[in-house]
A and B are shown apart, each in its own frame.
Chain A
Amino acid sequence: MTHSENFTKGFFKENAVFVLLLGMCPTLGVTTTAFNGLGMGLATTFVLVMSNIVVALVKDLVPDKVRIPTFVVIIASFVAIVEMGLQAYIPFLYEQLGLFIPLIVVNCIILGRAESFASKNSVLPSMIDGLSMGLGFAMALTMLGTVREILGSGSVFGLSFVPQGATTILIFVMPPGAFIALGYLIAGINALQARARKPKPVAAKAPEPLPAN
């Protein structure tokens, strides 16, 4: 796998949220606005990249049987660092994300990548892998947050586009809306992927008519 393939996989082919269905708790929990989704996605990306780097560095020094506990400690340390950093320098985001910041620890994506990728690869590919999966996760959360914010609050990244006091579809910023919006988003992405797969045989034939004349 080339570096660029490694980098792009997290956005579509192996997208954590839309394809692998991992990390669903923060995905549903914090995406009432696009900004929150992006913030959560970037915080997770930071932890993912750092833990992947460290795991790739120490993988040969860790005996197999204590591999998982060691990885968990590494991940938890970076999560605590993010937690303190956000609290000190971006208190607004810290309050918005609340409980879901310490819960980055138990985001299946992170331990999953450490175990299935970083513990078998060297530092550079592991870093790219973390960046790719993390940014793909951030992209998914921002998309879901944007959809929910548009429908539920009539704004994008806090910029309102409806008159004050206008009626919006409030259910989308409430818990049920999270499930429903994500359900339709995944269905839409499935449909897009199915369509992208179909035209391939057609595309292969397409060039023929041109040289015929």
Chain B
Amino acid sequence: MEYLLIVISAVFVNNIVLSQFLGICSFLGVSKKVETAVGMTGAVMFVLVLSTLATYLLMKSVLEPLGLEYLRTISFILVIAALVQMVEIALKKVSPPLYQALGIYLPLITTNCAVLGVAILTIQKDFNLLQGVLFAFSHALGFGLAMISFSGMREHLEYAEIPARMKGVPISLILAGLLSMAFMGFAGIGA
């Protein structure tokens, strides 16, 4: 039950993108096509879970015992940067087309605040390891849900007639606002 609550809360109620505003850069940047959105989701999901696991272990087994909590931000970002490098190298070997598609956005996962944000949130919430990994995974799922549904809508937006000044970013933001409003309907589920 407790675990189910973590999942529902992370995917729907406190959606990482639409209500916590993490990972907005890739949410707006790579969502023009469903295809790239799916790829980006996969990459973020992989990095998010892996980095939460790594930072959690780092925090609990090194920083906290040594009283070095103040190095949290700096060590987390380095761990994440190293992980992203590894994912990039792996992807280049395993799936060159996907690597081509995601292009410049892969290195940008390092500066995707969703990854660092969830790593820090996991520490702040006082989770155990299993809960933490589940928490990270469900946030990644929430990211994917928001990202893919948003990109689906944006594909349709291309054929809509929109006032010239609203074209591009403004209408996308308003669309995101409407999507976020829809997700507000999930609030209160945990109560």
In the complex they form, whether A and B have CB atoms below 8 Å apart is answered with: yes
- Interface of A with B (CB < 8 Å)? 21-22, 24-29, 68-69, 72-73, 76-77, 79-80, 83-84, 99, 102-103, 105-108, 111, 171, 174-180, 182-184, 186-188, 190-191, 194
Q: Write the nearest CB–CB distance from B154 to chain A, whole angstroms.
A: 13
Interface centre among B24, B78, B116, B121 (most CB of A within 10 A): B24
**Contact A25/B77 with A80-B70, A106-B112, A176-B177 known, Cβ cut-off 8 Å:** no
Q: Any chain A CB within 8 A of the CB of B165?
A: yes
**Contact A171/B181 with A179-B174, A183-B171 known, Cβ cut-off 8 Å:** yes
Contacting residues, chain B, for A80 (C-beta < 8 A) = 70-74
Do A182 and B77 touch (CB < 8 A)?
A: no
Q: Write the nearest CB–CB distance from A171 to chain B, whole angstroms.
A: 7
- Provide the bound-state CA to CA distance between A89 and B78, in Å: 28
Of the residues A24, A83, A84, A171, contact of B24 by C-beta under 8 Å: A24
**Contact A76/B73 with A175-B19, A187-B170 known, Cβ cut-off 8 Å:** yes
- Interface of B with A (CB < 8 Å)? 18-25, 28, 70-74, 77-78, 81, 108, 110-113, 115-117, 120-121, 124, 165-166, 169-174, 176-178, 180-181, 184
Do B170 and A29 touch (CB < 8 A)?
A: no
Interface centre among B22, B115, B124, B173 (most CB of A within 10 A): B173
- 8 closest Cβ contacts across the A-B interface? A183-B173, A179-B177, A29-B21, A187-B170, A180-B177, A76-B74, A24-B24, A183-B174
Of the residues B21, B71, B174, B184, contact of A28 by C-beta under 8 Å: B21
- Provide the bound-state CA to CA distance between A26 and B23, in Å: 10
* Closest residue of A by beta carbon distance from B80: A106
Of the residues A27, A29, A83, A106, contact of B77 by C-beta under 8 Å: A106
Do B21 and A190 touch (CB < 8 A)?
A: no
Do B121 and A99 touch (CB < 8 A)?
A: yes
- Provide the bound-state CA to CA distance between A79 and B73, in Å: 8
Do B173 and A182 touch (CB < 8 A)?
A: yes
20 A–B contacts, CB within 8 A, in A order: A24-B28, A76-B73, A80-B72, A83-B73, A99-B120, A99-B121, A103-B117, A103-B120, A106-B77, A106-B111, A107-B111, A175-B21, A177-B177, A180-B177, A184-B170, A184-B174, A186-B170, A186-B173, A190-B170, A191-B165
Contacting residues, chain B, for A191 (C-beta < 8 A) = 165
**Contact A108/B74 with A21-B28, A25-B23, A103-B117 known, Cβ cut-off 8 Å:** no
Q: Write the nearest CB–CB distance from A25 to chain B, whole angstroms.
A: 5
Identify whether the interface residues of A are mostly helix, strand, loop, or mixed.
helix
Contacting residues, chain B, for A106 (C-beta < 8 A) = 77, 110-113, 115-116
Besides A183-B166, A183-B172, 4 other A-B contacts (C-beta < 8 A) = A29-B21, A171-B181, A186-B169, A187-B165
- Provide the bound-state CA to CA distance between A34 and B6, in Å: 33
* Closest residue of A by beta carbon distance from B73: A102
* Closest residue of A by beta carbon distance from B187: A174
**Contact A72/B78 with A29-B20, A175-B180 known, Cβ cut-off 8 Å:** yes
Contacting residues, chain A, for B19 (C-beta < 8 A) = 175
Interface centre among A69, A79, A107, A186 (most CB of B within 10 A): A186
- Provide the bound-state CA to CA distance between A99 and B25, in Å: 17
Q: Write the nearest CB–CB distance from A147 to chain B, whole angstroms.
A: 13
Of the residues B116, B165, B172, contact of A190 by C-beta under 8 Å: B165
Do B180 and A176 touch (CB < 8 A)?
A: yes
Do A176 and B181 touch (CB < 8 A)?
A: yes
